[in-house]
Amino acid sequence: MAALESDRLDHVTTNWDAATSTLLAHALPVLRVTESFPGGSVTLIWRNEPTPEQQMQANRLIRGVVPTHAW
């Protein structure tokens, strides 16, 4: 499923539960979305190792993602 512009979340998102839900709705294996520190980089904690395509899709949906791996 291609990401629509309206599906995108940007750096001003403060509800990381909503960000996690959005990525899960796009069938991405994410465990949670967090912010490194207030105003810092967005970090994805993956449920299992994502494919390069899944990483690119997450980057399209959330700007400024740091692809952290944890599985």
Containing 34, the helix (H) or strand (E) segment is strand 30-35
Task: State residue 14's pLDDT score.
Answer: 55
pLDDT one-digit tens code per residue, 29-47? 999 888 777 777 778 889 9
Residues 6+ apart with CB under 8 A from 61: 3, 7, 8, 9, 22, 23, 26
Residue 39 token pair: 């105003």
* Cα gap 61→9, rounded to integer Å: 6
Q: Are strands 42-46 and 65-68 parallel, antiparallel or unpaired?
A: parallel
* Cα gap 57→55, rounded to integer Å: 5
**Average pLDDT of span 3-27:** 68
Task: State residue 53's pLDDT score.
Answer: 92
